[in-house]
Amino acid sequence: MRTPAVPVRLGGVTKRFGAVLAVDDVTLEIPAGLLVTLLGPSGCGKTTTLRMVAGLEHPTNGRVFIGDEDVTPLPASNRSVTMVFQSYALFPHLTVFENVAYGLRIAKVPERALREQVGAVLELVGLPQVGERYPAQLSGGQQQRVALARALVMKPKVLLFDEPLSNLDAKLRKRVRAEIRDLQQRLGITTIYVTHDQAEALALSDVIVVMNLGRVEQVGSPFDLYRKPATRFVADFIGEANLLPGRYAEGMVTVGPYTFAFRQDGVHAGPVTVVARPETVQVATAGQGLPGTVRSAFFMGTTIDYLIETPIGEVSASAPPRVTGMLPVGSDVRLQFAEAGLYLLTEDGR
Amino acid sequence: MRGGRGRYGSGLPVLRRGSMARVLTAPAVRPGLNSTLLAWGALTFLGAVSLPWARPGRELFTFSPEATGAALARTSPLMGAILLTALLVAAAGLVPWATASRGRAAIVLGALGTVLVAVRLFGTGQPFSWGVAAAALGFLAVLGTGLALAGVLRTDAFIAGSILWVAVFVAIFILYPLWTVLEASVVVRGRFTFDVVRETLRSPAFFLLNNPATPRNETAVALAAGGIVTAVGLLLQAVQRRPARGWLWALPAGVGGFVLTALYLGFGALRNSVLLAIVVGVIATALGFLFALLGERSRLRTRRLLGPLSILPIITPPFVLGLAMIYMFGRRGFVTYQLLGISTNAFFGPLGVAVAQILAYAPIAYLVLQGVVQSMDAALEEAAETLGASRWHVLRTVIWPLARPGVANAFLLVAIESLADFGNPIIVGGGKPFLATEVFFAIIGRFNPSEAAVYGVVLLAMTLSIFLVQRYWLGRRSYVTVTGKPSGAKARPLPPALDYAVSAFFLGWMVLIVALYGSVFVGSVTKLWGFDYTFTLEHLRSLSPTGWKVFWTSTKLSAYAAIPSTLLGFLIGYLVTRMEFPGRSALEFSSMLSFAVPGTVMGIGYILAFNQGALLLTGTSAILIMAFVFRNMPVAIRAGVAAIHQIDRSLEEASTMLRANSLTTLRRIVMPLVRSALLSGLVFAFVRAITAVSQVIFLISPQHSLATTQILTYIEYGSQGRGAALASLLTVFMIVVIAALYAVNRRLGAETRREMAL
Ligand SMILES: Nc1ncnc2c1ncn2[C@@H]1O[C@H](COP(=O)(O)OP(=O)(O)OP(=O)(O)O)[C@@H](O)[C@H]1O
Ligand SMILES: [Mg+2]
């Protein structure tokens, strides 16, 4: 059985802190039951947006809807929303059990039902044995899960995460992130997740909202964002990308002296920015292609990363190691672009 | 961890996979009534209808059946309207309205009720009684609830109501008394006039520069001194080839030279107080800095004594040092007469007061500067040294510039204390006029409240400007804050020679302090100090009954006052650090104001404000309690702010998101986390109240006399032995209380540490 999941909508939401415009006219639909990530560089307004959904911050302009209800005037305590904080915010003077039971006690849930629910949720997050301990007696990963349990036990309509993994080491981060994903899919709660780590966002999300300078740059699935970034910012921020100046005309793309066939619907003839992921740049020593010289080469294990100087600027390429080994620095090479990894941005792509 | 067996039974229920379903069933109940409004409406009505609205005399705890709301409503339509408003509030809680409309109704009713109560109270002018308090607080709570419900204040009813209550209390017990002092200085017998101001400021008791009895012309000398300083300043600037900026420094220096010379040559209360404040401020700050260096950078054991030293001025009733000075250095002083064989009055007057104040306030400077020295980043010094700077150079170019704001801060704090001090000048002042004592003598000796008010305003103007400078100018300039992050670099120890020198000096200091305190203890069991040193218990015995009675009254009232002043202080601390609301900084400023207001000024303010009419409070113990509460509240606010800053804000947010209202969050999250700070606040509020004198000296009445004022009476009227006995008793009691606090806090601390960090 699942709680009927509800969508979250932001309508023209703006937040100012004095002179700082933290969130600038954001309109957003977060579909019911999905995990949506707010992704962007530090200070772009992710946390502020999340906190406005939580009710911890109130928009200067615009409205917030949870389901059909306009919750803009409601305080955080009346929103059926819970949050997992970056610092976990576990109450240090209460045991794990009491931490998780905190909200239920406030809701005056009878003792028996309360124990049952707390037990169930602790089991759900895989920590059935730690109820009597204090938060300081848990590892970082365990604290994280207690924080999650405390948020889940309230049966929120919407679950919020603000960079919940930033205090964990790299290995644990991967594991916990998979667990969060798994749990969210099983429970089907509408979830908003803030991170500035694009790898985390790609691995975790149904939908990613890329933010920059308080505005939404692009909304889409991880795959779409990677393959079809709407702006230079998105192309640059998600994954690595070569952004090359070029021209497009009737199914032909020209970068520098090199022209090749490539068709993209909806692109008019004229100047374009060619987005080429490094792993789709093919490095050859002869033949057709953009001419260049190897400036540096690093052996990375699964790939060799080259930095190649061309007439239109530096291009990075990740090539699979060849039997013959690495190309020496200074080699003259020809670059070609695999059609599957190419994307054209027209000039309005900022 | 608490309780071996655990509070939740033997273990948690074991659940299978189906647990998820149970986790996810969401009930949401939306009641059609608002219990907060309903409750406040009912309480307000019940309080207003059953409690008396006026009282026949001063006594607060009287019940006059003819003055209850029910009785009054029969003849007074106004009272009828008040009761009706309360009923309407309850009704507004009952009807199934939308939140916002209910909020607007509550705003209207709450505001209306508050206004009606005020009209009723000040319209009749009869001394208020409990009905007024109940109705006013009730309607304010309703107004607060309304503001929260309607979304005017983005917070809940508890916080909104608290803000209003706190604002009203601060207005009545801090701002209004100060206003009456201002008013009294220019309104004499109902007429606006500057006559008293002019007369007072011109009187030689206030300030006299040109003394006709001396042949020289002091004004001319002072002007000359100012001119010389200016000239020298300009000359120096010229030599350093910076004449362009010369005036910038030379002129203020010249003015300073003139003022200092004028003060030095002049006479009167202004001169004595200001000169005293400067001298004591400089010396106490220097000593405080030395002690702070000792405490933070010494390798010797001596530094352990600094802790007790810093507690001393707080636990000491204000006359103890003064009395000790008389015992040791007075006309028949132990040192001066017994040991050196001189009988002198030299110590009575500014010199004696200065010594007593330095002894008392150096610890204050130490406490301020301790934080400064502590947070001074040792890495900076190391960096400077690696750049090849000598130690002296490091001191001059790194340490001093960093410490300068803190040093200025310590100086200003000590200066405020010195200006406001009442106890020492009155005991060892030798009859010389000081601003704080003139306030007292104008009212007690010359029965001239207007003159007292003028002195009060002058004193207030000075302490307040120092307070403002300290808060707004220094506040922005301090590089090292108390909460500054330590860098991990080990503090550099003092060079051994300096270490030994400072330690030796400090030991001498401690010996002096111990001797002084000891003399009071010995004095309390000595027949007649200076003449007959035989042992006697007569003084202690003669404390019965008066001495014991006042001791008990002091203890009782201080305990009553400690609780509200701590809770109120922490609440205000919480409001101003964590909440955003219109008037937040005004509230913070006015509640911290009594920090800067000298006790005697607050004292006349209370007398003038609460001596007649609707707010009559004088002659009751309540006015003493209120004086204590609002006097000590700023300390609690500071403690509260500091403690709350230690708490990660997201803890409170997490609590809010789990549907807790702010009262619950305060009770269940904030309070437990600040409990040891809260306990300390409580004890210090108690101790400060019990040792207070200047703000209550006008407010005591025969039935409600206090230990400190009784000590003063004993000393002034010749039974020094008895004064010493009572003072010793009080000091010992304070030491016991503080020691108990430390013991409890250590246990609390240990327990907390066990709970929180393993
Ligand atoms: N309470 C506040 N007062 C003033 N400015 C604020 C406040 N909170 C956030 N800001 C400002 O608003 C902007 C957006 O902040 P926000 O915390 O939303 O960024 P973020 O995207 O979460 O960044 P990060 O990844 O660093 O957490 C920043 O410029 C920040 O300085
Ligand atoms: Mg953030």
Measured from the CA of A194, which atom of ligand 1 is nearest? Answer: 22
Terminal Cα-to-Cα distance of chain A (whole angstroms)? 46
Q: B294 with B427: CB under 8 angstroms?
A: no
Nearest-CA residue for atom 16 of ligand 1: A45
Structure tokens at A316: 């990075």
Cα separation values, B197 from B58, B434, B441, B454, Å: 32, 17, 16, 6
Quick one: pLDDT at residue A47? 94
Structure tokens at A338: 């695999």
Q: A165 with A144: CB under 8 angstroms?
A: yes
Is B330 strand, coil or helix?
Answer: coil
Return the HEC string of B256-281. HHHHHHHHHHCECHHHHHHHHHHHHH
Cβ pair A107:B154 closer than 8 A = no
DSSP letter at B187?
Answer: E
> In this predicted model, what pLDDT tens digit does every residue of B69-85 receive, in sequence order?
899 989 999 999 999 99
- Range from A72-76, B101-105, B213-217, B433-437 carrying the lowest mean pLDDT: B213-217
Contacts of B329-336 spanning 24+ positions with Cβ under 8 A: B330/B530, B331/B530, B332/B529, B332/B530, B332/B531, B333/B530, B334/B519, B334/B529, B334/B530
How far, in Å, CA of B370 to CA of B285, rounded?
Answer: 11
> In this predicted model, what pLDDT tens digit does every residue of A57-90 receive, in sequence order?
989 999 999 998 899 888 888 888 999 998 899 9
> In this predicted model, what pLDDT tens digit does every residue of B610-645 receive, in sequence order?
988 888 888 888 999 999 999 888 888 888 888 888
Question: A126 CA to chain B: closest CA distance, Å?
Answer: 12
Between strands A61-66 and A313-319, the pairing is: unpaired
Which residues have beta carbons under 5 A from ligand 2 (an ion)? A 47
Residues 6+ apart with CB under 8 A from B713: none
| A92-101, B13-22, B376-385, B679-688: which is most confident | A92-101
* pLDDT (average), residues B410-418: 88
* Ligand minimally distant from the alpha carbon of residue A48: 1
Mean pLDDT by 10 residues, chain A (350 residues): 77 92 93 93 93 92 92 86 91 92 92 94 89 89 92 92 87 87 90 92 92 93 90 89 89 89 86 90 87 89 88 88 77 88 74
Quick one: pLDDT at residue B1? 36
pLDDT confidence of B115, banded at 50, 70, 90?
very high
Nearest-CA residue for atom 18 of ligand 1: A45
Quick one: pLDDT at residue B703? 82
In this predicted model, which residue has the larger pLDDT, A72 or B532? A72
Cβ pair A106:B658 closer than 8 A = yes
Is B696 strand, coil or helix?
Answer: coil
* pLDDT (average), residues B30-49: 87
How far, in Å, CA of B264 to CA of B274, rounded?
Answer: 10
Residue B481 has pLDDT above 60, yes or no: no
Rounded to 10 degrees, the C-alpha dihedral B73/B79/B80/B85 comes to: -150
Structure tokens at B77: 């339509």
pLDDT confidence of B413, banded at 50, 70, 90?
confident
pLDDT confidence of B487, banded at 50, 70, 90?
very low
Quick one: pLDDT at residue A5? 85
B98 and chain A in contact, CB less than 8 A: no
For A154, the closest chain B residue by CA position comes to B658
* pLDDT (average), residues B594-609: 88
How far, in Å, CA of A104 to CA of A182, rounded?
Answer: 25
- Range from A48-62, B294-308, B379-393, B409-423 carrying the lowest mean pLDDT: B379-393
Task: Give the distance, in angstroms, between the CA of residue B678 and the centroid of all CA atoms in the same chain.
Answer: 16
Query: Which residue out of A20, A60, A213 has the highest number of ligand 1 atoms within 8 Å of its CB and is therefore the one to mutate?
Result: A20
**Is A19 near ligand 1, meaning CB less than 6 Å away?**
no
Reference B89, options B104, B76, B100, B79; nearest CA is: B104
How far, in Å, CA of B578 to CA of B105, rounded?
Answer: 28
Quick one: pLDDT at residue B521? 87
Question: B168 CA to chain A: closest CA distance, Å?
Answer: 26
Quick one: pLDDT at residue B16? 33
Note the pTM of the prediction, 2 decimals.
Answer: 0.83
> In this predicted model, what pLDDT tens digit does every residue of B298-319 receive, in sequence order?
888 877 778 777 777 777 777 7
Quick one: pLDDT at residue B26? 36
Structure tokens at B568: 């109120």
A131 and chain B in contact, CB less than 8 A: yes
Residues 6+ apart with CB under 8 A from A10: A26, A27, A28, A49, A52, A53, A62, A63, A64, A65
* Ligand minimally distant from the alpha carbon of residue A46: 1
Structure tokens at B411: 């100086």
Bridge partners, residue A253, by sequence: A248, A260
Residues 6+ apart with CB under 8 A from B57: B127
Quick one: pLDDT at residue B564? 93
- Range from A187-191, B36-40, B555-559, B749-753 carrying the lowest mean pLDDT: B749-753
Distance from residue A58's CA to the centre of ligand 2 (Å): 16
> In this predicted model, what pLDDT tens digit does every residue of B240-250 receive, in sequence order?
765 556 567 77
b/e map B521-558, b = 16+ CB within 10 Å:
bbbbbbeebbeeeeeeeebbebbeeebeebbebbbebb
Order of all β-strands in the sheet with A69-70 = A20-30, A8-17, A61-66, A69-70
Task: Give the distance, in angstroms, between the CA of residue B513 and the centroid of all CA atoms in the same chain.
Answer: 25
Mean of per-residue pLDDT scores for chain B: 82
B29 and chain A in contact, CB less than 8 A: no
Residue B752 has pLDDT above 60, yes or no: no
**Is A150 near ligand 1, meaning CB less than 6 Å away?**
no
Signed CA dihedral, B724, B727, B731, B732: sign only:
positive
Quick one: pLDDT at residue B31? 53
Bridge partners, residue A313, by sequence: A310
Measured from the CA of A44, which atom of ligand 1 is nearest? Answer: 21
Q: What is the ipTM of this complex?
A: 0.84
**Is A22 near ligand 1, meaning CB less than 6 Å away?**
yes
Q: Which of A55, A120, A137 sits opposite B22 (nearest CB)?
A: A120
How far, in Å, CA of B738 to CA of B720, rounded?
Answer: 26
What percentage of chain B carries pLDDT values higher than 90? 23
With beta carbons under 8 A apart, name residues in chain B contacting A87.
648, 650
Return the HEC string of chain A. CCCCCCCEEEEEEEEEECCEEEEEEEEEEECCCCEEEEECCCCCCHHHHHHHHHCCCCCCEEEEEECCEECCCCCHHHCCEEEECCCCCCCCCCCHHHHHHHHHHHCCCCHHHHHHHHHHHHHHCCCCCCCCCCHHHCCHHHHHHHHHHHHHCCCCCEEEEECCCCCCCHHHHHHHHHHHHHHHHHHCCEEEEEECCHHHHHHHCCEEEEEECCEEEEEECHHHHHHCCCCHHHHHHCCCCEEEEEEEECCEEEECCEEEECCCCCCCCEEEEEEECHHHEEEECCCCCEEEEEEEEEECCCCEEEEEEECCEEEEEEECCCCCCCCCCCCEEEEEECHHHEEEEECCCC
Terminal Cα-to-Cα distance of chain B (whole angstroms)? 8
How far, in Å, CA of A275 to CA of A295, rounded?
Answer: 21
**Longest CA pairwise span in chain B (Å):** 104
> In this predicted model, what pLDDT tens digit does every residue of B327-371 receive, in sequence order?
888 777 777 777 777 777 777 888 889 998 998 888 888 888 887
Is B16 strand, coil or helix?
Answer: coil
> In this predicted model, what pLDDT tens digit does every residue of B44-64 receive, in sequence order?
999 999 999 988 888 888 888
Best of A102, A122, A133 to disrupt the B interface (most B CBs within 10 Å) is A102
Q: A297 with A326: CB under 8 angstroms?
A: yes
How far, in Å, CA of B558 to CA of B688, rounded?
Answer: 8
pLDDT confidence of B105, banded at 50, 70, 90?
very high
With beta carbons under 8 A apart, name residues in chain B contacting A116.
13, 15, 22
> In this predicted model, what pLDDT tens digit does every residue of B261-270 receive, in sequence order?
878 877 888 8
Quick one: pLDDT at residue B23? 39
Reference A307, options A235, A298, A323; nearest CA is: A298
- Range from A82-86, B328-332, B419-423, B734-738 carrying the lowest mean pLDDT: B328-332
Q: Which element (helix H / strand E) includes B191?
A: strand B191-192
Reference B448, options B737, B158, B184; nearest CA is: B184
Distance from residue A17's CA to the centre of ligand 2 (Å): 15
Cβ pair B673:A86 closer than 8 A = no
* Ligand minimally distant from the alpha carbon of residue A52: 1
Cβ pair A73:B651 closer than 8 A = no
Quick one: pLDDT at residue B388? 65
Quick one: pLDDT at residue B471? 75
Quick one: pLDDT at residue B208? 77
A347 φ, ψ (degrees, to nearest 5): -60, -30
Q: A342 with A262: CB under 8 angstroms?
A: yes
Quick one: pLDDT at residue B479? 46
Cα separation values, B754 from A141, B89, B648, Å: 21, 49, 19
The position carrying tokens 């200074």 is A330
* pLDDT (average), residues B574-580: 88
Distance from residue B478's CA to the centre of ligand 1 (Å): 25
> In this predicted model, what pLDDT tens digit does every residue of B154-166 receive, in sequence order?
788 899 999 999 9
pLDDT confidence of B477, banded at 50, 70, 90?
low
In this predicted model, which residue has the larger pLDDT, B335 or B183? B183
Q: B685 with B692: CB under 8 angstroms?
A: no
